Amino acid sequence: MSGTALIAGVSGIVGNNLARHLVATGFTVHGLARRPPTDIDGVAPVAADLLDPESLRAALAELRPAYVFITTWLRQETEAENIRVNAAMVRNLLDAVRPAGSVRHVALVTGLKHYLGPFEAYGKGMLPATPFREEQGRLDIENFYYAQEDEVFAAAERQKFGWSVHRPHTIIGYALGNAMNMGVTLAAYATLCRETGRPFRFPGSAAQWSGLTDMTDARLLARHLTWAATTPEARNEAFNVVNGDVFRWSWMWGRLAAWFGLEAAPFDGEPNPLESQMAGAGPLWAEIADRHGLIEPDLARVASAWHTDADLGRPIEVVTDMSKSRRLGFLDYQATDDAFFDLFARLRAARVIP
């Protein structure tokens, strides 16, 4: 495969892994972010703000991407603000690449909040039956994912490109300073527990502890994005994207504990949120980082406890159907426990955790 790709959000979990995959498969890759990383071999950094249309147009004026991947968003205080800001980011980006007339495909990464609702109403009220399937309609509630989709659909109509929408479950992957990062957050939490002797407690709900769930490895998502962008049968379709296995946290928690040399604390049936458990742990993390020579002493750039609490605190079982992708030929699979272990090993090798 080959072609010129532009990744918006290259510094995040999805963008970082996608960039590496595209380079490895022969693409010319431009990575856009306000502060794009410079450590991904083969990726040309593009420094631009998606909320500044003039500077964005200037930064992209010389580029002619055939494939545009939108893998970023900005969290706001309310869903109304989420809609205003994140729709504008998509609109500004697609307006900026329009003059080149080169775009053949735009891929948008959203997630299961398409079915669950936004954070303000996360997993509440009337919800579609699980497993979630792509043909299930939108909820009758404001949701910035829907606004992002509508911007892509409108631009596709104007500019005559194909599109795909990708709905992963919680993503496991390497990135620091990311707003939604369960794997790195749990690694930081386990490190704090090991260093202090605190019990390694499951922070979430009884429904999550006992119910079936699934997750998405960022590497698998990168392959899925590339497949959809280059497969004619996947044009103008929305897809769920998960690893292909299911598990219960009552099984997974002990496996994560064992990787860090910990005993998993018994679950008492009550949520024990990480935001509470990790509150005030910043100075301790800085001390651990200094003692072990870690690269990031700021716990806030390593852990996103609020997001992990939102996922693990849901009062319902959440599983996702992948049949649509399978029928069209995407057959990749990733064991979720191995996805965690691979991430933890990478974090240790990069001196993010001791």
The reply to whether 115 belongs to the active site is: no
* Cα–Cα nearest to 78, from 120, 110, 141: 120
Per the annotation, the verdict on 145 as an active-site residue is: yes
Question: Do residues 165 and 241 make contact, with C-beta atoms less than 8 angstroms apart?
Answer: no
Of the listed 113, 115, 146, 189, which one is catalytic?
113
Supply φ then ψ for residue 344, to 5 degrees. Answer: -60, -40
Q: How many CB atoms lie within 10 A of CB 299?
A: 21
Quick one: DSSP state of residue 162? E
For the record, the structure tokens of 127 come out as 């919800």
- Measured CA to CA, the distance from residue 176 to residue 12 in angstroms comes to 8
**Residue from 115, 145, 146, 174 carrying the catalytic annotation:** 145
Residue in the block written with tokens 């080959």: 2
Identify the residue whose tokens are 């792509």: 134
Cα 269 to chain centroid, rounded: 28
- Name the residues annotated as catalytic: 113, 145
